[in-house]
Structures are given as C-alpha cells and as structure tokens.
C-alpha cells in the first residue's frame, strides 16, 4: 500500500482564461512534474514522468507509486483530508492522543476508536 498526499494549485473562476489554462498545462507537464518534485523531495502525480533526474529514494517512491496504482493499493492520507471527513479524522486524533498520553490502555483505545469513528460519521 502507498498513502498519498497531493499539492493543490487553486485558480479563481474568472471565466475562460488563457493564462490559467497555460499554467495548468505547465504544472501537469512531465518536465515541470520532474523539476518540481526533485526539488521538493516528492513523487510526481503523473506515473509517466521519467525518473532520470531523481535520486535512489525518488526512484523507489515512483516505482512504489506506480505499483500501488496498478494494484489498486493507493490510498489517500487521512491526515491530509484525502481518506476521511474532518470529523472522522479529528475523532481518531482525539483517541490516539488520549491513548499516547496515558489516558487509556490499548484495549480501551480500540473500543474508543471504533465508537469515535461511528459517532463521527
């Protein structure tokens, strides 16, 4: 499994905008994806970007992402809002924080986690 998070570029609704279209095309180009992610230390959103400019860690990340995508084991990050609504994420965080701060043992935490997620949905 691979957990993903993604960068987002926001554009305002100003009607048809050639500048916004040009920016979107540039951001999604393989060249930009390579340059941006090499500097950032992340993996391109596109799976067809060459890994030539990446270090060993980047190459492994790209291979792992492609494999997870192929095997349908690519999941969104709960921490970044891709896998669960904020209410569920916050409920999980509350239970995990309480458990790690000594407020409950593991058995209590499991029960509390199930109840918190059910209540938050």
Give 13's contacts (C-beta < 8 A, 6+ positions apart).
Answer: none
List the domain boundaries for the chain.
2-76, 86-120
Provide the pLDDT confidence category of residue 23 given band limits of 50, 70 and 90.
very high
Of 70, 82, 85, nearest in space to 7 by CA:
82
Separation CA 67–CA 24 (nearest Å): 26
Contacts of 88 (CB under 8 A, 6+ apart): 78, 117, 120, 121
Q: Say which residue the tokens 């990050």 belong to.
A: 77
How does pLDDT run across 40-92, given as a tens digit for each residue? 999 998 889 999 999 999 999 999 999 999 999 999 998 888 888 899 999 99
Residue 81: what pLDDT?
85
């Amino acid at each position: 499994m691979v957990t993903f998070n993604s960068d987002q570029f926001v554009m305002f609704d100003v009607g048809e905008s050639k500048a916004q279209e040009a920016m979107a095309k540039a951001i999604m180009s393989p060249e930009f994806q390579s340059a941006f992610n090499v500097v950032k230390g992340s993996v391109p959103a596109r799976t067809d970007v060459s890994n030539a400019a990446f270090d060993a860690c980047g190459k492994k990340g790209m291979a792992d992402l492609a494999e997870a995508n192929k095997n349908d084991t690519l999941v969104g990050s709960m921490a970044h809002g891709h896998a669960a609504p904020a209410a569920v994420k916050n409920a999980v965080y509350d239970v995990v924080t309480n458990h790690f701060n000594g407020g409950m043992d593991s058995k209590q935490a499991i029960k509390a986690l199930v109840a918190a997620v059910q209540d938050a949905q």
